[in-house]
């Protein structure tokens, strides 16, 4: 009889404990949504024709999109999305009008210029992208030791989300990589566009989760022609014997570095305070936001824990 009574009490305890955790998680979701919204609201966006930093290219922001300038974009990439910082990592971002940099389920195109020189496209028809995929997967595994030592999660190159395609007439290359960070079940999408020019390539890198693959693919035609080199900087302006020729060819562009949204905020709302505590340890920029939430609710959570413990003793 005592065993049955104990089992009944234990079931009640589990039920109430789960209800308490669900309540905490629901409050966490609401508060974190408010925090993310407040960060989004600090961003200042632009529309129309944009003269990109450096003066070698312009962008016509298409209908349904907005532009975030380079200083704000770099802050997002490094402080909010947790990417390693490097020189000239962004010329700004292009985002759907309805989305924001902290919107779960959203995406953004990061813009860069790599002044690598004139990229010859003679190899475009000869590349075996299956073999290239295997090489890239191996290189990424080998590079994880350094990445982990620098305090970042390991990366796995899962495969092509969209196979590489090169438009010879427009001098535009695009492809998509499926990336896995650490042990996350939510994979990240890197949809890459390269526009070849006289002295280098313009880069548009769509950063999203794999759930947004179809949306990004549908929007790629809208953004292929929005970035243009200014006169004197186009692919056709190349001067043999005068301009530098890049060491990379088309295959080398596809093999380039990965810049990817860590994506923690996309899955954050699915979990409880354990992830919040992990964030406090890993992302200093969020401390002032998270600690305000945590301190304000610490007593309430303690009260809930105490209540559950007392029920366990009944």
Write down all domains in the chain, each with its CATH number in brackets: 2-40+272-313 (no CATH), 49-267 (3.40.1000)
Residues near 132 by beta carbon (within 8 Å), at least 6 away in sequence = 251, 254, 255
Q: What is the pLDDT of residue 80?
A: 79
Q: What is the pLDDT of residue 60?
A: 95
Helix, strand, coil percent values for the chain (each to nearest 5) = 45, 25, 30
Q: What is the pTM of this model?
A: 0.69
CA–CA separation, 32 vs 9, rounded Å?
Answer: 34
> CA nearest 107: which of 78, 69, 65?
65
CB-CB contact of 191 with 208 (8 Å) = yes
Q: What is the pLDDT of residue 262?
A: 44
CB-CB contact of 154 with 147 (8 Å) = yes
Q: What is the pLDDT of residue 244?
A: 94
CB-CB contact of 178 with 193 (8 Å) = no
91 CB neighbour count, 10 Å cutoff: 26
Residues across the chain: 314
Q: What is the pLDDT of residue 282?
A: 40
Which stretches within 117-198 are classed as H helix?
129-149
Chain segment 99-128, per-residue pLDDT in tens: 888 776 678 889 999 999 999 998 888 889
Report which DSSP code applies to 169. T
Q: What is the pLDDT of residue 111?
A: 93
Low-confidence ranges of the chain (pLDDT < 50): 1-18, 20-21, 24-25, 28, 259-290, 293, 299-301, 304-305, 307-314
Report which DSSP code applies to 123. T
């Amino acid at each position: 009889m005592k065993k049955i009574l104990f089992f009944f009490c234990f079931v009640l305890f589990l039920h109430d404990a789960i209800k308490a955790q669900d309540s905490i998680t629901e409050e966490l979701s609401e508060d974190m949504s408010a925090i993310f919204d407040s960060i989004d609201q600090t961003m200042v966006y632009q529309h129309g024709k944009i003269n990109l930093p450096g003066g070698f290219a312009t962008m016509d922001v298409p209908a349904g999109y907005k532009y975030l300038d380079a200083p704000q974009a770099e802050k997002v990439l490094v402080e909010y999305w947790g990417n390693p910082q490097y020189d000239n990592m962004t010329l700004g971002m292009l985002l759907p009008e309805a989305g924001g940099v902290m919107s779960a389920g959203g995406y953004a195109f990061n813009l860069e210029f790599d002044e690598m020189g004139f990229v010859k496209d003679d190899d475009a028809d000869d590349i075996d992208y299956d073999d290239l995929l295997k090489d890239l997967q191996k290189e990424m595994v080998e590079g994880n030791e350094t990445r982990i030592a620098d305090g970042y999660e390991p990366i796995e190159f899962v495969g092509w989300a969209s196979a590489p395609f090169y438009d010879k007439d427009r001098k535009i290359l695009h492809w998509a990589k499926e990336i896995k960070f650490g042990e996350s079940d939510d994979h990240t999408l890197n949809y890459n566009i390269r526009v070849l020019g006289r002295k280098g390539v313009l880069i548009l890198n769509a950063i999203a989760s794999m759930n947004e693959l179809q949306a990004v693919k549908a929007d790629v035609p809208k953004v292929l022609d929005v970035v243009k080199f200014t006169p004197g900087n186009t692919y056709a302006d190349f001067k043999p014997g005068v301009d530098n020729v890049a060491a990379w060819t088309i295959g080398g562009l596809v093999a380039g570095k990965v810049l990817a949204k860590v994506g923690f905020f996309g899955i954050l709302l699915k979990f409880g305070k354990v992830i919040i505590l992990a964030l406090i340890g890993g992302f200093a920029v969020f401390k002032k936001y998270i600690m305000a939430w945590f301190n304000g609710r610490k007593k309430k959570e303690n009260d809930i824990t105490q209540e559950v413990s007392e029920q366990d003793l009944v």
